[in-house]
Structure 1
Amino acid sequence: MPQKLTVAVAQARTGPSLSATLSALERITQHAASQGVSILLFPEAYLGGYPRTCDFGTAVGARAPHGREQFLRYFQDAADLGDTPAGAGDDWIERKLPLAKGSDRRGDGTREFLERVARETGVFIATGVIEKAGGTLYCSALYVDPNAGVLGKRRKVMPTASERLIWGQGSPSTLKAVTTVIKGVRLTIGAAICWENFMPLLRQSLYSQKVNIYLAPTADSRDTWLPLLRTIAGEGRTFVLSANQCVRYRELPSWITEQAEKQGTALEGNPYISRGGSSIVGPLGEVLAGPVWETCVDDALDKSSLEGLSKDEGLLIQEIDLEDCERGNLDLDVAGSYSRSEFKLTVDGLDLNPPPF
């Protein structure tokens, strides 16, 4: 049978609170479902937020009290998914972790909210989330299937530059791909978050698992991002979906902008601090949709109806043929016929074989 699906990426921005962002996610997903979308990707740190321009009052060897207050606000805005600091893996996914007395769930309900939205819309949701566990924040990507609920979650293994101040490192074992069948189409889905995509061995760990949907939620809005996506798609003979936020300075959390005003470091006017650049790329490296710049799907939420919402308003929708991945393997399979047995990659705690269905 045909192996075609309609996929989408949402160039959406984080709202003023976690609940507001979840509400926006629900409306965007409902609209995507009305357009026949089966898989929908949201940006890196969409839930919880990417704190652009904020230094959290730090310098080498010094911490300012106001920075600790900013971290407190950021921590409070993060999602509690009910996982452990070490990451409980399958036990967390399968809800085998102990519950507090009198409680019917772990965490703050974000997981259950996303599972309900996926179930009611029939859309597979992948979203970036700032996750808190113990006293640490993690930049994570969550996979939510409309039938099975959460299939997996991975934490960014290498936060970039100053991100390391506020986010912990995730375990490489979370690079495990997930499998599902949607409308008769067999999918193996994996994710690399933002600059993890510049790590060749990490990319190879996903290629080895034979992902045919490669997710690249990001915070990189440079023109140089798209060439990387095209390289990944061509290397891995996989469809690459990348979603970024589109944000103006005054749309940042007040705990960032108000402190900047006190310090006299606020940006003048209301410039874009992230222009977007969300895209969809095919397995021969061809750009199928995007990149789209300086527009945000959230701006359409104020309309009386979302009917007619177009790619120019931050939602990229594309039908893809998953058999194109196998067609591309005629001349390139970097984990198979185009590899050499002398070169071997191992990752602690991760099986690099394609996962079984």
Structure 2
Amino acid sequence: MGGASTKLAACHVSPVFLRAQDTTEKAISFIKEAAKNNAKLVVFPESFIPAFPIWSALKAPTEKEHHFFFHNMVSESVYIDGEEINAIRAIAKKLNVIVSIGVSEKVRYSNATLFNSNILIGDDGEILVHHRKLMPTFYEKLTWAPGDGHGLQVVETRVGKIGVLICGENTNPLARYSLAAQGEQIHISTWPAIWPTRLTKVQDDSKVQDKSPVKEPPDRSNFLDNIFGSNYDNVAANRTRAAAHCFEAKCFGIMCAGHLSADVMEWLAELRTPEINSETLKLWPRGATMFLDTTGALLPGFTINRETSAKKKCDFLQEEEGILYAEIDLSDCVEGKQYHDIAGGYQRFDVFELKVDRRRREPASFTDE
């Protein structure tokens, strides 16, 4: 038996690079557009405000550019109670929509400690979940500190029970299970626009990698060369992880990746790393935004023309900036749990036990007279 459908919106967008206030204003414009099109949940990518620290993949930590960009990242990162988040909360309340947005968060007890955070804001403007990425991945450790378990929460909303994980922590089976064990129905996973792991043999990637998220997987006959001689195929890996969680938890998936704008592409090329130029940049696989159903399969999406309001079928967004929409029916979360409800009837609680510490970590505990 089917139930009422709900419209979701995933914003495949670029930040105004390292400009928090301008990026916040851009986010608000996209929230307004999605709300006008009757979306009830609006999702933005990883570290959307103010940017993803892509420079850490391209320049050595000791190079002056790296210090320059980190300084700017600290300056433009946002406080959880700052004006940027407050503006997002206000528009969510005004338009009666739920908003999930990735930010680089700074804290008042340090002038340089940052967290890769995701904020889930309710349609009443209240913060429902404040999640800090458990462990920054690879070169992200040059920018962000490890988070804690406080954000491993699933909250019940009018669109369903929502949980969020950021990028690589979707690889962590215990983190994913902790959300499934709370009855998660909608899983949000956020991703960067691009995530290079190698600066060499980029041109070879076009021969061995399939950059589309919906085509057949690439030929792995020359496995070692493909894996260790080319860039990490983040699109395929992202979809694999998100799909596995949807299948295991029997939940819907929103994969929301950032977009790489032309001006940022020009900036990357201007870093003048020998292996980087405008042509090789185009060959790196971009992140893709898409929806997944409760079996892990691709959920058909669509875009809506800003001028005519006409719908156009679109399974994913990758090269173009925009908003991808999908309709879901939460009753679809039921049938698969007849087969294996991993946090219920298909679990052996007498064999396995998971304990999750959700206390927010602070640098010190003070006692005053």
Asked if residue 267 in structure 1 is aligned to residue 277 in structure 2, the reply is yes
- Deviation string 1:72-97 (CA, Å, 9 cap, x unpaired) is 01111211223xxxxxxxxxxxxxxx
- Superposed CA RMSD in Å reads 2.7
Contact kept, 8 Å, 1:188 with 1:212, in 2: the verdict is yes
Q: 2:252 aligns with which of 235, 239, 251?
A: 239
Contact 1:57 1:68 in 2 (8 A): no
Code of the residue aligned with 1:212 in structure 2: it is Q
Q: Where does 1:177-216 land on structure 2 (aligned, <5 Å)?
A: 177-180=154-157, 182=158, 185=159, 187-216=160-189
Match of 1:277 among 274, 288, 291: 288
Deviation at 1:268, TM superposition (A): 2.7
Counterpart residue type for residue 81 of structure 1: I
Identify which range, 263-272 or 157-166, moves more after superposition: 263-272
The TM-score with structure 2 as length reference comes to 0.75
Compared CA separation, residues 20 and 306, structure 1 to 2 (3 A): farther
Distance 1:198 1:55, change over 3 A: closer
Q: Residues 317, 264 of structure 1: CA spacing in aligned structure 2 closer, same or farther, 3 A cutoff?
A: same
List structure 1 segments (4+ residues) > 3 angstroms apart after TM superposition.
53-59, 263-266, 305-314
Report the CA distance shift for 1:349/1:34 in structure 2 as closer, same or farther (over 3 A): closer
Output the CA distance in 2 between the equivalents of 1:279 and 1:345.
31
How far off its partner does 1:257 sit? 5.6
Letter paired with 2:353: K
Q: Is 1:121 matched with 2:123?
A: no
Distance between the aligned counterparts of 2:86 and 2:266, measured in 1? 25
Q: Which amino acid aligns with 1:147?
A: D
For 1:345 and 1:177, the matched residues in 2 are separated by 16
Distance 1:253 1:142 in 2: 30
Structure 2 counterpart of 1:131: 105
Q: Aligned residue for 1:67?
A: 66
The 5-angstrom pairing of residues 12-23 of structure 1 reads 12-16=13-17, 17-23=19-25
Does 1:11 pair with 2:22?
no
Query: Match of 1:158, SS?
Result: coil
Residue of structure 2 in register with 1:230 after alignment = 243
The one-letter code matched in structure 2 to 1:289 is P
Task: Give a deviation string over 1:252-284, Cα, whole Å, max 9, x none.
Answer: 595x665x13x6565235636562311111112
Report SS of the residue matched to 2:338.
Answer: coil
Once the 2 structures are TM-superposed, how far is the Cα of residue 251 of structure 1 from its aligned partner? 1.7
Structure 1's 200 and 320: CA in aligned 2 closer, same or farther, altered over 3 A? same
Say if 1:23 and 1:232 are closer, same or farther in 2 by CA, change over 3 A: same
Cα distance 1:307–1:287, how it changes in 2: closer, same or farther (>3 A)?
same
Distance 1:307 1:20, change over 3 A: farther
Q: Identify the residue that residue 144 of structure 2 maps to in structure 1.
A: 167
Spell out the pairing of 1:16-165 with structure 2 (5 A cutoff).
16=17, 17-55=19-57, 58=60, 63-82=62-81, 107=82, 109-133=83-107, 134=110, 135-165=112-142
Identity of aligned residues (%): 24
**264-273 or 32-41: bigger deviation:** 264-273
| Distance (whole Å) between structure 2 residues aligned to residue 65 and residue 27 of structure 1 | 35
Cα deviation, residue 317, structure 1: 0.9
Q: Distance in 1 between matches of 2:308 and 2:122?
A: 24
- SS where residue 3 of structure 2 aligns? coil
| Matching residue of 1:91 | none
Matching residue's letter, 2:282: P
Q: Does residue 1:345 correspond to 2:357, yes or no?
A: no
Amino acid at match of 1:75: V
| Structure 1 residue 48 displacement after superposition | 1.4
The normalised TM-score by structure 1 is 0.77
Instruction: State how far apart, in whole Å, the 1-side matches of 2:266 and 2:87 are.
Output: 23
Output the CA distance in 1 between the equivalents of 2:260 and 2:65. 24
Counterpart CA distance in 2 for 1:37 and 1:241 is 14
Number of residues of Structure 1 aligned to a counterpart in Structure 2 = 306
**Distance in 2 (alpha carbons) for counterparts of 1:239 and 1:20:** 31
Change (3 A) 1:177 1:146: same
The separation in 2 between residues aligned to 1:277 and 1:174, in whole angstroms, is 24
**More displaced, 50-59 or 171-180?**
50-59
Gaps (5+ residues) in structure 2?
A: 196-233, 360-369
- Whether contact under 8 Å (2:269, 2:278) holds in the other structure is no
8 Å CA contact retained: 1:189, 1:212: yes
Q: Which amino acid aligns with 2:100?
A: A
Q: Structure 1 residues 54 and 252, CA, compared in 2 at 3 Å: closer, same or farther?
A: farther
Q: Does the CA-based 8 Å contact 1:130-1:137 persist in structure 2? A: yes
SS at match of 1:40: strand
User: Cα distance, 1:49 vs. partner?
Assistant: 0.8
Relative to structure 1, the CA distance from residue 253 to residue 146 in structure 2 (aligned partners, 3 Å threshold; closer, same or farther) is farther
Which residues of 2 match residues 323-338 of structure 1 at below 5 A?
323-338=331-346
Per the TM alignment, residue 155 of structure 1 is displaced from its structure 2 partner at its CA by: 0.3
